Chain A
Amino acid sequence: MISLNVNGKAHQLDADPEMPLLWALRDLLGLTGTKYGCGQALCGACTVHLDGEAVRSCVTPLSRAAHGKVTTIEGLQNRVLQDAWCDLAVPQCGFCQAGQLMTAAALLGETPQPSDDEIDLSMAGNLCRCGTYSRIRAAIKRAAGAR
């Protein structure tokens, strides 16, 4: 059994410790807000927080996640950032946006007033096929300004 703390709730999972956190969240816990896009940490759609840091859950084995606190989009408590996302109508198809928000929240946690270059550097691992990048930048800046 693996103990996993997700969004403040403790779970006991009967699962292979090598199973990526992504599939434990989605298939075992029913937390489907975290998305599968590539399976190789190339697109960022699966981004969650492990002890406050943005990690790609598709390549994070349960054995590693078990030692920390996991936060998913369902548990993200950054109303300012999420409001900025809605106010600027950032999403198009929406599929990558949970990962975008989790990466952006981690960035703002570390760098409350990021520059354009800092935003680009932090968000470079999160793909958006619909092309919402300019609104993502604007929403991060709006959230930063609202602090």
Chain B
Amino acid sequence: MLRREFVGGLLVAVAGRALADEPTGASPKKPKLRDEALKERSEGLRPNVFVHVSSDGKVTLVNHRSEMGQGVRSTIPALLADELGANLDRVEIEQADGDKKYGDQNTDGSNSIRGEYDDLRAAAATAREMLIAAAAKRWHVSAGSLTAHDHAVWNGSRSLGFGELANAAGKLPVPKPGSVKLRPRAEMKHVFRDLPLVDARPIATGAAQFGADVRLDGMLIAVIARPPVVGGKVVRVDDGKALAVPGVKQVIRMPEPKPPWKFQPWGGVAVLATNTWAAMRGCQALHVEWDHGPNAAYDSQEYAAQLSRAVHQPGHAARNAGDVETALAHAAKTVEAEYHVPHLAHVSMEPPAAIARFEDGKCEIWAATQNPQDARKQAAETLGIDESQVASHVTFLGGAFGRKSKADFVAEAAYLAREARAPVRVQWTREDDLRHDYYNTVNTQLLTAALDASGKVTAWRQRTAFPPIGTTFSDVKGPGAGDLQQGVTDLPLAIPNVRAETCDAAAHVRIGWLRSVYNIFHGFSAGSFMDEIAHARGKDPRENLLELFGPARIVSLQELGVEKLRNYGATLDKHPIDTGRLRGVIERVTEMARWSDRGGRALGLAAHRSFLTYVAVVVSVKKDRLGKIAVDEAWLAADAGTVVNTERARSQMEGAVIFGMSHAFFGGATMKAGVTEQSNFDTYRLVRIPQAPRAVHVEILESDGPPGGIGEPGVPPVAPAIANAIFALTGQRIRTLPLMLAGVV
């Protein structure tokens, strides 16, 4: 019932207000500009940019973040509605355009709820208090005796609907932000449990509008031949054959980017045509002579050997507690292992796509972007106009995982729309997507542990080498404190001597963030190494893991051996490193998997804190008929504090298991002569349905603590859990991803 009501109110707003009136046919009307749409809202109550209550009782709630599969459109509006006391069937969701008035819109860092929870609730509570104040005035009673629920304000059994109060409330002063009271948890009607998926029906009927689905009159489609090597340049172009392809209208040289690359268009030559196929064929027919530039020597295999040499030398101290070198020198036994994780690609199912129109010095953009404000900025910079002259609308993202927070593809569309004097859709091919990604960085680590004569772990030394994301923006030489908070400096260890070091590493490709980022390889190495220590000690991996993380406690900076910790932007008071919560998810997931009663099953376990959320994973592996490793069952327990939408939290964790499996089994973008060797799903493989576990069990632990992240924290423990399970089954320890290189999958 709930589902039907909620969906009924939402279909119109699928891809942004400006497109709400557009039919899905071949020749849409000109989209309505934002200001015109807003004029219709001058009546009623609009205390802030997130809430509007109309005098007819319709409540419009703004979702200011991008929908990329995490279910934010099913979550933020429901949170606002509950705080307000609105009925979901009278709520319309408005997808926000890119505008600083909404605060930060970058849908990134698993931050939409953990970062905005209190502010969003306060926005809705402000509207509720104003509706209550209007009712109090009407009834000549004190506001304190009134309540708001079921789309009305109540005084005992008497009620006034929100619509009846909206205009009067709209004339009252807006309470100061800090003064409004949030509802007690028990009064929230829908959230903190499973919420309906508001966009399921438009997706299941093909009506949902993704990046490439926006159509404008006279629009040309652009496919771009980009320099195959980062920093490469066009020397000469012969576009004769391209222009001879029927449907091809123009060939346009792209501007050359200058380092640092940031989010600039990549350069190259664009072919513009009346349809996508013609543009693709035209692009293939171009003859371009390239100057590949200094990165043409980049060979990722050679580079891995360089990183390996680096971690065998002392690095820059990033964390130090006790005296690791003395403890290692006096160890009864040492355990040492080197791990390598290659560059990883995002490969969202929809390759990047953006549409731009440039008229009278103004630019309008429609894009599958995680960051519509930055899309405006990049377009404005590329065009040399003020940001106020650029509008950006957000479509469904078609997967993103961090790729679509980089607006290079939007800037390409803006540039071409001006140069071509026509609206343009820039369509990335899958080959473009794999060859010109902002890859997750490449990493090698050396971990060394000391055991004393009784088998107790007395020292842990971790050396990590990778070119950081900062190389895309400046000339940094190696990882910094902000990078190492992801699984190195924040790793709680009940070991007296702990030291972490970093090694410099230069970048030869564009590096960016991919779902879970550095946690992917730090989680893999630490999660694998703890299992190696367990076997070296002859201990059960679960008991060993609990012992290494240590007793339930709040871990101090002093214990970590760091002066400060970025902690994903949260204070340690609000979000401490709490080993009790880490133990909690390990204990729960091992109960779910019947760890102590595993019989002949080969189980692997790993746990990791990231984005302020604690996750533990167990997987069971078997050999299939061909003797290859198959993951047949997986269990995941997560403690993410308060969870607004438990259903989407579970679905994100289910997806994280598959995402992590793809990295573990097949993940890896490799470069020869500076060119990425993978170009489509045959060479960059992903887990397919036959490889997916037959059962994935997810449990979100109940908590009333402050919310942590949901989208990313499920990924890091998956790969080490698989590697640990393979060791349990075969005795083979695999320290280099992907597993397919070892021939086991």
Q: Identify the A interface with B (CB < 8 A).
A: 16, 19-20, 23, 26-40, 42-43, 45, 72-74, 76, 82, 85-87, 89-98, 101, 116, 119-121, 123-137
Contacts and interface: CB of A to CB of B under 8 A. Distances in A.
B400 interface: yes
A135 B203 contact: no
Contacts, number: 192
A132 B690 contact: no
Contacts of B199: 91, 94
A94 B651 contact: no
A23 B203 contact: no
A26 B279 CA distance: 14
A42 B681 contact: yes
A86 B25 CA distance: 25
Contact of B213 (A32, A132, A133): A32
Contact of A95 (B221, B398, B689): B398
Contact of B69 (A19, A76, A93, A121): A93
A73 B274 CA distance: 24
A112 B32 CA distance: 46
B695 interface: yes
Given A29-B26, A89-B647, 13 more contacts: A19-B277, A23-B276, A26-B276, A27-B275, A33-B205, A38-B430, A39-B430, A74-B207, A89-B648, A93-B348, A96-B349, A121-B690, A134-B694
A72 B682 CA distance: 25
A132 B203 contact: no
B206 interface: yes
Nearest to B195: A89
Interface string B659-686: 1001000000000000000001110001
A20 B206 contact: no
B206 A130 contact: no
Contacts of B350: 35, 37, 93, 95
A134 B203 contact: no
10 contacts: A16-B246, A19-B275, A30-B215, A32-B215, A38-B680, A76-B205, A76-B206, A101-B204, A124-B689, A124-B690
B246 A93 contact: no
Given A89-B197, A97-B204, A20 B689 contact: no
B399 A95 contact: yes
Contacts of A130: 69, 349, 399, 655, 658-659
A122 B210 CA distance: 26
B101 interface: no
B680 A133 contact: no
B209 A32 contact: yes
B203 A91 contact: yes
Contact of A23 (B26, B215, B275): B275
A108 to B, nearest CB: 15
B197 A86 contact: yes
Q: Which of B209, B347, B349 has the most CB of A within 10 A?
A: B349
Interface in B248-289: 274-277, 280
Nearest to B3: A86
B201 A126 contact: no
A99 to B, nearest CB: 9
A69 B219 CA distance: 29
A93 B277 contact: no
Contacts of B347: 129
Nearest to A134: B696
Contacts of B246: 16
A134 B206 contact: no
A89 B689 contact: no
A76 B204 CA distance: 10
Contacts of A95: 210, 348-350, 396, 398-399
A43 B681 contact: yes
B351 interface: yes
A93 B204 contact: no
B140 interface: no
B690 to A, nearest CB: 4
Nearest to A90: B200
Q: Which of B207, B209, B654 has the most CB of A within 10 A?
A: B654
Q: Which of A91, A93, A125 has the most CB of B within 10 A?
A: A93
Interface string B676-720: 000011100011111011111000000000000000000000000
A27 B400 CA distance: 23
B655 A132 contact: yes
A33 B686 contact: no
A43 B654 CA distance: 20
Contact of A119 (B656, B686, B689): B689
A131 B655 contact: yes
Contacts of B3: 86-87
A43 to B, nearest CB: 5
A65 B69 CA distance: 33
Q: Which of A20, A28, A123, A128 has the most CB of B within 10 A?
A: A128
B203 A36 contact: no
A70 to B, nearest CB: 13
A51 B387 CA distance: 50
B204 A86 contact: yes
Nearest to B25: A30
A127 B430 contact: no
A43 B221 CA distance: 22
Interface string B412-430: 0000000000000001011
B519 interface: no
A73 B201 CA distance: 12
Contacts of B67: 93
Nearest to B692: A133
B212 interface: yes
Contacts of A92: 69-71, 651-652, 655
Nearest to B650: A89
A50 to B, nearest CB: 17
A17 to B, nearest CB: 12
A27 B209 CA distance: 14
Q: Which of A119, A123, A132 has the most CB of B within 10 A?
A: A132
Interface in B18-41: 24-27
B208 interface: yes
Question: Which 6 A-B pairs have CB atoms at the shortest separation, nearest pair first?
Answer: A33-B206, A131-B658, A92-B69, A73-B206, A93-B69, A131-B655
Contacts of A85: 200, 203-204
Q: Which of B205, B246, B682, B686 has the most CB of A within 10 A?
A: B205
B690 A93 contact: no
B689 A136 contact: yes
A36 B655 contact: no
B225 interface: no
A109 to B, nearest CB: 17
Contacts of A116: 694
B349 A27 contact: no
A61 to B, nearest CB: 10
A93 B689 contact: no
